[in-house]
Structure 1
Amino acid sequence: MARDTLNARQPGFIRIDDDTALHYRDWGDGVPLVFLSGWTLNADMWNYQCAPLAASGFRCVAYDRRGHGRSSDPGRGYDYDTLADDLEAVLDARDLARVTLVGHSFASGEIVRYLSRHGARRVAGIVLVSPASTPCLLKTADNPGGLDSSLFEASIDEMLTSFPDWIERRAEAYFSPGTSRGVIQWTADMMLGASLYAAAQLSHEQMVTDFRRELAAIDVPALVLHGDCDASAPLEITGGPTAAALERATLKVYEGGTHGMYFNHAARVNEDIRAFVTRWQA
């Protein structure tokens, strides 16, 4: 049975339990696309995908994960298993099937874990935009190309000291050169609206999770979009190996693309999503 929305006076929310409700938006009609935001971002990051794609005949659903944006901050559930279950709750509540899941950055791990945990009965395909969680970030004996744990730990310490300064030090590299200060501030405001506790918990979760076996088991069509100038998630560590691990993946590399290419290259991202979905939903 589909879960009820929060209550009649608060439309746009899906209740998960007594402590948690997720804010969502559902625009347009047609083939369904479900958008999962990057770490500390929320559904607003997808405005420049959802609005044009909804206008061109797609149903675009986006939601704020727990501890992000307008959703509840229950102080728990900041792990991939719970986030995958939250995604299932959204799909169930909106009665969605044959969906294409579109995830940015951290959300690549949510999508992979969702498919591992709930299967592909609702899913027609996946689009990973600038994936940052997969296949395996941590340097280990069998993953020598990963990153040393000290880098993640230092980043979390820096974030917990002053998240506004953490953001400011990375802001320009996140977007393409010449991006306006207004866009950078818009993004910073989204990030600062997330629960700091959730941000730290999920950053650690991203560091320690190995998705290699889960990726190898996925058999739905996949599209990986990644920029060759991504300072947040280098192509050679995340996007390239992720595409190689997926049996039915296509990798498209954007020359000059950075982590924020969902904004800087919005028209191209939208066209690539449209073409991918049209091909596999035909």
Structure 2
Amino acid sequence: MGYYIPVERNVNLFVEDCDPGYGKPILFIHGWPLNHKMFEYQFNQLPKMGYRCIGVDLRGFGKSDRPWSGYSYNRLADDIRMVIDTLQSEDVTLVGHSMGGAIAIRYMARHSGHKVSKLVLIGAAGFTRRPGIPYGLTKKEIKRWEQSWSKLIAATYTDRPKMLDGVWDIFFARYVTKRLKDWFHGLGIEASGHATAKCAVSLRDEDVGQDFSKIDVPTGIFHSVQDKVCPFAFAELMHAQIRGSELIPFQYSGHGLFYEELEKLNRELIRFIG
């Protein structure tokens, strides 16, 4: 079922809850520039095994409201806190993909892991500007990351459909059908243009490196070695900095590992959550 949760005055987030009140809750935070529908192939399998899948559309994306402001990681993490408190959920597994992973990381630090018992980071944008640290990006790699996002931001304001085409060209490492790419393209088009651009600014400029040490729940890091959007170095960095984390490499996918290796991802997710 789907419903709306108010997170601040005149801002409501759309939430899809596969089975309210039943099963161990898994709260999914989607990546940029998609919405909760990206997790379709988790939502149609995990509930069979007793898990309650909860998907939220971040502000500006999917069916949620589209305010002009509020796209910093702090505000987006506060929105997640409002969703969790409204649902009165306990023992939550928080799952974030890409930017959703960065928001999940910020949530854990900013809200001391409130109600979350396990964290899963899927191709997470674990970006930090601190070059030279173990497993971190070099100064040159950081500059390249920032420049690529600056180009995406500029293209968002001039030809967003074409910009999205370019995203899907590097999103997948394996062959996917044109119709599947078209489906993902449609999810991206559903977002508001200003939210797409402003979240891209957050992806480029915000640093979650200082948050890693504040995570104190079991953390699974699911990341593809072929990821061209969020390099595997992000996964190595997070693994080195998050105490007791488990790194699960994916060999045969890109940034879309939740689809390209969906059977492995679902299997590893069930194993990790328990």
Provide TM-score, normalisation by structure 2.
0.92
SS at 1:147 equivalent: helix
Pairwise CA distance, 1:141: 8.0
How many residue pairs match? The answer is 266
Check conservation: 1:23, 1:63, Cα contact below 8 A: yes
Q: Which runs of 5+ in 2 are unaligned?
A: none
Q: Could you list the runs of 5+ residues in structure 1 that have no partner in the other structure?
A: 1-9
**2:270 aligned with 1:274:** yes
* Alignment partner of 1:27 is 2:24: no
1:96 aligns with 2:89: yes
Are positions 1:67 and 2:60 aligned together?
Answer: yes
* Residue of structure 2 equivalent to 1:56: 49
Does residue 1:151 correspond to 2:151, yes or no? no
Using the aligned pairs only, state the percent identity: 26
Contact kept, 8 Å, 1:35 with 1:61, in 2: the verdict is yes
Letter in 1 for 2:107: Y
SS of the residue 2:37 aligns to: helix
Deviations 1:246-273 (A, max 9, x none): 1121111111221111111111111111
- Work out the CA distance in 2 between the residues paired with 1:213 and 1:193: 32
Q: Which residue in the other structure is 2:111 paired with? A: 118
- Deviation (angstroms), 1:89: 0.8
Maintained 8 Å contact 2:108/2:114: no
Letter in 2 for 1:19: N
Give me the CA root mean square deviation.
Answer: 1.8
SS in 2 for 1:35: strand
Q: CA deviation at 1:178?
A: 2.1
Separation (CA, whole Å) in 2 of partners of 1:158 and 1:167: 9
Is 1:226 matched up with 2:223? yes
* Aligned residues of 2:174 and 2:253 also touching (Cα < 8 A): no
Quote the Cα distance in structure 2 between the aligned partners of 1:71 and 1:11: 11
**In the superposition, relative to structure 1, how do residues 11 and 192 fare at CA in structure 2: closer, same or farther (>3 Å)?**
closer
Task: Report the Cα distance in structure 2 between the residues aligned to 1:231 and 1:203, rounded to whole angstroms.
Answer: 16
In 2, the alpha carbon distance for the partners of 1:179 and 1:217 equals 38
Q: Which residue of 2 aligns with 1:16?
A: 7
Q: Which amino acid aligns with 1:232?
A: V
Per the normalisation by structure 1, the TM-score is 0.89
Letter in 1 for 2:138: P
Provide the rounded CA distance (Å) in 1 between the counterparts of 2:119 and 2:190. 27
Question: C-alpha distance in 1, partners of 2:170/2:193?
Answer: 22
1:129 aligns with 2:126: no
- SS of structure 2 residue aligned to 1:161: coil
CA-CA distance at 1:169 after TM superposition: 2.2
**How big is each residue's C-alpha offset from its partner over 1:152-205, in whole Å with a ceiling of 9 and x where there is no partner?**
322211222211111212323312432011110111111111111111111111
Q: 1:268 to 1:140 in 2, by over 3 A?
A: closer
Which range moves more in the overlay, 82-91 or 157-166?
157-166
Secondary structure of the residue aligned to 1:13 is strand
